[in-house]
Amino acid sequence: MVPLSWYLSLSALLFVIGLCGVLLRRNILIILMSLELMLNAVILNFVAFSFYLQDLRGQIMAIFIIAITAAEVAVALAIVIALTRNRATLRVDDINSMKG
């Protein structure tokens, strides 16, 4: 059986990698992937604690987070496609307003 600290360490590493991607990158697709990585780190925490505490609430919460993440990806990709068509760029620095 793998200790809980290994799961928490892996989750912290995934979260830090995602946070660095959000803070250091300027491409909107990289930022979206980094946000997904951060959410996956949170899901890993929920599932690990759920397993070690023998409680299903963490796993149920993980399913809800996955569903919300799928909806977020659909909306975010629609915004990215609209920005690409209107501005012809994916760099966050070049997008200064959301005026249509």
Average pLDDT, the chain: 89
Position 87 scores a pLDDT of: 75
Which CATH number is associated with domain 26-89? 1.10.287.3510
Q: How confident is the model over 27-67, as pLDDT tens digits?
A: 888 988 999 999 999 999 999 999 999 999 999 999 999 99
The 3-state secondary structure of the chain reads CCCHHHHHHHHHHHHHHHHHHHHHCCEHHHHHHHHHHHHHHHHHHHHHHHHHHCCCHHHHHHHHHHHHHHHHHHHHHHHHHHHHHHHCCCECCCCCCCCC
Check pLDDT > 60 for residue 100: no
Position 23 scores a pLDDT of: 94
Decide which of 90 and 12 is more confident.
12
Position 96 scores a pLDDT of: 67
